[in-house]
Copies of this chain bind each other. A is one copy, B any other.
């Protein structure tokens, strides 16, 4: 396996209640794909300490790295940082450098609630970023980020240079409007069998009231991917439909 693995843990009552549409998973997933890191699992858990601690410990043990989002603000419901300290069994203490910088930049507004954002598990490295004065932090293979998308995105950008990289994961897609999955399933399985080291996916969609299917070949062997995509294109053409190359439309 030449690709490092990763998981995402979303700490978010607001996702579980349906109040908020998550957009962080797709952003992180695309960032990781660009680095050749395989995202292998996502979990969403509520703002409950025991649930956060056990999820952090399970996921950091199972994958090469873990990214968390949410729960690092100044309010009473922001408990991620304490929970990560508990998961690692280390003290949760003021990060001197962050405390100094936040005090300088915030002046009188730097109150007790905000000082909680300078408090981290011992041994953490702050994730300084362009979107917020309060940083995220990295401890071992766990990267703790904000839940607000624009701040999370700035933290991810700040992290990227230090992340391990793998072989780039390439993708080629072709779609056929009016093609039903059931009509091409057998032919598609035959293509998958010829390219066992690729992931060949089939994703139905509906657009302008008509069904179609997107066929996606994915892996690290670009020449095989292009061969497989060519065969998928022929499969769609054999249905009497003009194959459309490129980014598949979403459903």
Contacts and interface: CB of A to CB of B under 8 A. Distances in A.
- Give the top 9 A-B pairs by smallest Cβ distance, nearest first: A18-B29, A113-B185, A18-B30, A42-B44, A76-B189, A75-B202, A114-B182, A74-B182, A74-B185
Question: Is the contact region of chain A dominated by helix, strand, or loop, or is it mixed?
Answer: mixed
A184 to B, nearest CB: 8
Interface of A: 10, 13-23, 25-33, 38-47, 51, 73-78, 109, 111-114, 116-117, 148-150, 169, 171, 180-186, 188-189, 192, 199-206, 216, 218, 248, 250-251
A30 B163 CA distance: 36
24 contacts: A15-B42, A16-B38, A16-B39, A17-B169, A17-B171, A18-B26, A18-B32, A18-B33, A21-B250, A41-B43, A41-B44, A42-B42, A43-B43, A47-B199, A73-B202, A74-B181, A75-B185, A75-B188, A76-B192, A111-B183, A113-B182, A116-B185, A148-B251, A150-B206
Number of copies: 2
Interface centre among A14, A15, A41, A250 (most CB of B within 10 A): A14
Nearest to A205: B148
Contacts of A45: 40-41
A138 B41 CA distance: 24
Contacts of A74: 181-182, 185
A156 to B, nearest CB: 12
A112 B189 CA distance: 12
Given A17-B39, A26-B21, A200 B113 contact: no
